[in-house]
Amino acid sequence: MWPGGETGRHKGLKIPGRLSHEGSTPSSATKQKKGNYMFKLTHNLIEVGEYDTFDEAFIEMYHRVKKDVEQGTSWLLIETACWIEAATGELMMFYEARDAACRSGLLVDGKLNPKRIKEGKYYE
């Protein structure tokens, strides 16, 4: 089960300077690139990679955090040292990214939605 299930304690929290997905899906939240990426994943304060879509970045985050939880990593580390950054510089911390994935249908009942994952593009 994905940590925290489908909703989190930060549900509905408005944080200035953060991505707002009201009325949009995460992958359409921004269309401007600074470099060669739309979204960048940082895991345990280490930049992991750059991705063209929110879905790709979140799926990588999902697998890494799931492994962290299985190994007993502190929730404090997961909550404060893992985030997805848009090319605009705006951040989605762990719970914000998880909630956005739930709203977009990528994460259902704590698991990745196989209907949203294209064959061969993502791993499970």
Residue 29 belongs to some domain of the structure: no
In percent, the amount of the chain with pLDDT more than 90 equals 56
Q: What is the mean pLDDT of the chain?
A: 76
Q: pLDDT tens across 35-92, in order?
A: 578 999 999 999 999 999 999 999 999 999 999 999 999 989 999 999 999 999 899 9
Amino acid at 56: E
Residue 46 belongs to some domain of the structure: yes
Residue 38 belongs to some domain of the structure: yes
**Domain range enclosing 102:** 34-116
Residue 90 belongs to some domain of the structure: yes
Residue 78 belongs to some domain of the structure: yes
Q: Are strands 83-86 and 91-93 parallel, antiparallel or unpaired?
A: antiparallel
Residue 52 belongs to some domain of the structure: yes
Residue 43 belongs to some domain of the structure: yes
Residue 77 belongs to some domain of the structure: yes
How many domains does the chain fold into? 1
